[in-house]
Structure 1
């Protein structure tokens, strides 16, 4: 099982200590009742990764731990074979001891768009809702976060995160953690300085309820950083796909930026700004040897790349910042 004891000890001496009233029970329930059918296999793979000490750390565009000379050739071959058992790798990129994990998404490009619009993260307690395998958590730590905590119910993402975290220096690993929880399992904490949620809103059946859940995690005056799919239109424009959108089954609401700003105001946010609009390209999202499934190039109309294969507008992503009242 995953041992969260050191993380709980870290929380106990932080402003997040009230979370300990519910968090251990939620994690215990997950570990006893909600394990994925492949979890035991994944955990065995995780525990078989070669032990090594990283002689260098870089949390830049490629999150890197270690140098090629830190491992023997046999260890590196074993590391690659084991990490590929965690495919598909969707968010990154990462590099472990010279092994480049070329993920489907160039998440560094999104971070470049988001970073100029953030409050100073130095000394801040940060929550990333729907963090995937945790790439952005490391970038948040690089930007100065006191603690960067992600939640995501995908247990494969958890395994990928733990594989990366294994090679982080202990003082760094203690400040960056991923919990296999969904937003519905969070109590009202009202303590985080910054809440990120990127690529999640359109997967929620009730987006306004979700925005209120984000509000409930922030301290008064704290910053929300929201990245999501949008469509063009006025404040009354919202696209609800008939079935799939870009081959994704669980897409519910794609608002215009004006509609989304209205939702945020109604949810208790102020100082709302649309700080970036960006059309997703096949440079940013594409298949690789670490993610061999279909990707964006397969989801667009081959005769009109401005539309999805279903005929909807092609993915347009907005970054919006707001502040809790």
Structure 2
């Protein structure tokens, strides 16, 4: 895994990223040697099998399905073996992907979210982009497809890291996309300010016990005038100002604060962000998040009231997602 970072360090020559260059190697080394993760050996073995396949001649990061393919198709035997190896990385939650014409139909149609978010973003060409809670890296690949100078995803899940490295192997090192198996809180912060032009946090805020701290930590990674894209669960204004689930929300225990959009706007302005606006509001459907052969566990349909999909199984408002875009002051 460490070879993934060999070219990464050359992107950290900017003064504001010097703390990253100094502190990240040890943090990554610690993250790659966790105790008690019984799945890691079989993931690493499967990743070694993936590396027996050559780098793809063709890849497409700008289509709804992020895809890699050889110039000539694999034999039926090769394709069957590759499919079996890709299945080792179950569950595949964010996508979709196509690897040598093997379609990985992930739990989430993450391309639908990207279609809602992308029209409201600044041009990513030549920018430094940071994606917090990047999952398998689907959105990171879509960002990388737009020509940024650097695209960095951050997520502590080693399963997601391995899924990302599957695609990284086939796409190759020429695309400057990297995955850090860390948390936002672990990222060093320069005293001279952040270095990133655009920072994404999509599907993270409601998992944080201190959402205000999360916003400040995102802001700390942005340069002056940088763009924050925050996507999170909210409640309808008709529900009230804020929902704090008493126990579970849609069967998730790690959901803490679901504000209304006006309340979330206040949070962002209170943290010193400007030009705050909600650019999209969308209720998640059972077509966007569902069980598939690549994610065989229960999904959204099991977490909603079977008689009324506008409510969770606990009786709360069904998942409603807001996309907020704002900036740090110049």
How would you bin the TM-score normalised by the shorter chain? over 0.9
Question: Cα offset for 1:131?
Answer: 0.2
Deviations 1:213-243 (A, max 9, x none): 0000000110000000000228971100011
Deviations 1:245-301 (A, max 9, x none): 111110000000111111111111000010000010111111110001011111110
Normalised by the length of structure 1, the TM-score is 0.95
The 3 A distance-change label for structure 1 pair 306 and 129 is: same
Distance 1:122 1:5 in 2: 22
Give the conservation status (yes or no) of the 8 Å contact 2:57–2:71: no
Q: 1:89 maps to what in 2?
A: 92
Q: 1:51 maps to what in 2?
A: 53
The 3 A distance-change label for structure 1 pair 198 and 236 is: same
Distance 1:17 1:36 in 2: 31
Q: 2:80 maps to what in 1?
A: 77
Q: 1:32 maps to what in 2?
A: 33
1:137 aligns with 2:140: yes
Aligned residues: 323
The 3 A distance-change label for structure 1 pair 301 and 236 is: closer
Pairing partner for 1:264 from 265, 268, 271: 268
More displaced 10-residue stretch of structure 1: 235-244 or 127-136: 235-244
1:124 aligns with 2:127: yes
Give the conservation status (yes or no) of the 8 Å contact 1:11–1:20: no
The 3 A distance-change label for structure 1 pair 64 and 253 is: same
Distance 2:244 2:2 in 1: 38
1:162 aligns with 2:165: yes
Give the conservation status (yes or no) of the 8 Å contact 1:226–1:319: yes
Give the conservation status (yes or no) of the 8 Å contact 2:286–2:300: yes
SS at match of 1:139: helix
Once the two structures are superposed, the pairs formed by residues 231-270 of structure 1 within 5 Å of their partners are 231-233=235-237, 237-270=241-274
Question: Cα offset for 1:13?
Answer: 4.1
1:312 aligns with 2:322: no
Q: 1:102 maps to what in 2?
A: 105
Q: 1:201 maps to what in 2?
A: 205
Distance 1:52 1:70 in 2: 12
Distance 1:176 1:243 in 2: 37
Distance 1:47 1:157 in 2: 16
Once the two structures are superposed, the pairs formed by residues 294-313 of structure 1 within 5 Å of their partners are 294-313=298-317
Deviations 1:184-210 (A, max 9, x none): 101114000000010000000000000
Normalised by the length of structure 2, the TM-score is 0.94
SS at match of 1:78: helix
Give the conservation status (yes or no) of the 8 Å contact 2:4–2:178: no
Q: 2:10 maps to what in 1?
A: 10
Structure 2 unaligned blocks of 5 or more: none
Distance 2:209 2:7 in 1: 31
Distance 2:251 2:268 in 1: 28
1:146 aligns with 2:149: yes
Give the conservation status (yes or no) of the 8 Å contact 1:130–1:198: yes
Deviations 1:125-183 (A, max 9, x none): 000000000000111011221111000001111111111111003312xx011110011
Give the conservation status (yes or no) of the 8 Å contact 1:68–1:98: no
